[in-house]
Amino acid sequence: MNQPNNAIPGLATRQSALRLLDAVCRRGETLDQAMPAATGKLSNPSDKALAHNIAANVLRWMSALDAMIDSATRNRLADDAKARMALRIALAQVLILDTPQHAAISTALPLVHGGPRRLVHGVFSTVMRGLESGKLKLPEYPEIPGETHDRWTHSWGEDVATAASRAWANPAPLDLSFRSDDVGDLEGIKLAPKHLRMLPNLPVTGLEGFDEGRFWVQDLAASIPARLLGEGDGRTVLDLCAAPGGKTMQLASAGWNVVSVDNSAKRMERFQDNLKRTQLLAEDVIADLMQWEPAEPADAILLDAPCSATGIYRRHPDVLHCIGSRQIADRTEVQSALLDRTAHWVKPGGTLVYAVCSLEPEEGEEQIEAFLERQEQFAINPVASDELPAGLPPTESGCVRTLPDSLAEQGHVDGFFIARLLRKS
Ligand SMILES: C[S@@+](CC[C@H](N)C(=O)[O-])C[C@H]1O[C@@H](n2cnc3c(N)ncnc32)[C@H](O)[C@@H]1O
């Protein structure tokens, strides 16, 4: 007799992983958006983390997992068949998370309840035999989904696209930004002032200094935009699109008087938690930048614009399954509108830093080129090499572009484009 589903250990976690994958692959949601509903029934945070980890690895390794599944079926399973998703979930656990085979399959079969359990069992067993005999093997690194691979090859060349696959194979390191240059007893690689790079997957809340708010998690590339504004000496900066507050915390700890604006009340809750923990101060405003305006012009602006987020594909593998040229074109329009509306909120002689965590030139290089053509009062204020971490040189035009092959030896960085502009008049 079959075991009742609620008696199968770990099943609820795999059901949550399946719901997460459905949300990403069918509804185009991000994993972060899908987490609350998909994992709501799990009370243990480590189960939630496991569900996320299974789903993230299925998304990362999908094409290799599918090739194995297809090698073991006579009639190809539909891309969106539940049986295929259950098999992906089982195989990702065995091949990437080192889950024992019996645990992976016993929790995968109930996922297709009322469906082709025997087929799923048969395909799983055939793949396991193929792996044991050496006929099948997980490739060295996952494949970037076709449309993105083609786009990145076109924009950056084959070597960069291959570097992206390599970067995708391993979890990203843990980068911490510090309130001051004192990193305490924590050990890691220091790639910039107030920075420490540590091993991936470290439980950050357990690190010494977390409760006292000495640091926060922030990829090295994500820390560059605020670094380009230097010390604030009490001057005022508008941190536009500020939640969850990584850049606000950098600016506040560099002596800026920060006014932070974001239209997401939910993300601003995390912003407030972050500022409370780090005991840093900023004025927070929950408002749509297309409606709000400041009482007076500021000394500087940091616009961390909403974007495709394809540059953070390592930690968010879902983006490469949800983002295509239509979404990139939509985001590009929003960025131009935000740039045109907010740029004049900086005083003449002041600085505007524009940043996107995107690997798409339309949102970065081309966006700024078009802005400078529209707005003649602005010019690039070129970034010098000594303002950037070693190994990340400025571009020929004096901007910053990090790519999947940047700092590859040290564990890579997120893909960012950053421009520092001067308001001339
Ligand atoms: C890239 S994230 C910001 C990350 C943040 N700067 C940090 O370092 O932690 C982009 C943010 O833009 C916000 N946003 C998008 N459209 C907006 C708008 N029209 N007005 C205000 N905020 C907006 C989103 O809510 C999101 O938090």
Whether residue 214 is predicted with pLDDT greater than 90 in this model: the reply is: yes
Whether 401 is covered by a domain: the verdict is yes
Atom in ligand 1 nearest the alpha carbon of residue 290: 19
Average pLDDT, the chain: 96
Atom in ligand 1 nearest the alpha carbon of residue 355: 1
Whether 107 is covered by a domain: the verdict is yes
Check whether residue 116 and residue 200 sit in a common domain: no
**Domain boundaries, position 67:** 5-133
Whether 159 is covered by a domain: the verdict is no
- pTM strictly above 0.85: yes
| Average confidence (pLDDT) over 314-320 | 95
Distance CA 2, CA 296 (A): 69
Check whether residue 405 and residue 340 sit in a common domain: yes
Check whether residue 96 and residue 243 sit in a common domain: no
Check whether residue 97 and residue 34 sit in a common domain: yes
Beta bridge partners of 112: none
Distance CA 186, CA 205 (A): 13
Which among 79, 110, 133 is the end of a domain? 133
DSSP string, 193-208: TTEEEE-TT--GGGST
Contact, 379 vs 363, CB < 8 A? no
Which CATH number is 404's domain given? 3.40.50.150
Ligand 1: residue of 259, 262, 354 to mutate (most ligand atoms within 8 A of CB) is: 262
Instruction: Confirm or reject: Cβ of 242 under 6 Å from ligand 1.
Output: yes
Atom in ligand 1 nearest the alpha carbon of residue 309: 1
Which among 133, 162, 196 is the end of a domain? 133
Which among 133, 166, 186 is the end of a domain? 133
Cα 129 → chain centroid: 36
Own/partner contacts of 105-113, CB < 8 Å, gap of 24 or more, are 106/8, 107/8, 107/10, 107/11, 107/13, 107/14, 108/14, 110/5, 110/8, 110/11, 111/14, 111/15, 111/18, 111/82, 111/85, 111/86, 112/82, 112/83, 112/86, 113/5
> How many C-beta atoms lie closer than 10 Å to residue 70's C-beta?
12
pLDDT digits (tens, 9 = 90+) for 326-381: 999 999 999 999 999 999 999 999 999 999 999 999 999 999 999 999 999 999 99
| Average confidence (pLDDT) over 46-51 | 95
Check whether residue 216 and residue 344 sit in a common domain: yes
- How many structural domains is the chain composed of? 2
Q: Which residue's alpha carbon is nearest to atom 11 within ligand 1? A: 241
Give distance in angstroms: CA of 233 to centre of ligand 1: 25
pLDDT digits (tens, 9 = 90+) for 124-136: 999 999 999 999 9
Check whether residue 261 and residue 314 sit in a common domain: yes
Atom in ligand 1 nearest the alpha carbon of residue 247: 8
Whether 163 is covered by a domain: the verdict is no
Check whether residue 263 and residue 356 sit in a common domain: yes
Give distance in angstroms: CA of 409 to centre of ligand 1: 31
Give distance in angstroms: CA of 306 to centre of ligand 1: 6
Whether residue 15 is predicted with pLDDT greater than 50 in this model: the reply is: yes
Which CATH number is 125's domain given? 1.10.940.10
Whether residue 308 is predicted with pLDDT greater than 90 in this model: the reply is: yes
Which are the contacts of 343, defined by CB distance < 8 A and separation ≥ 6? 301, 352, 371, 375, 378, 421, 423
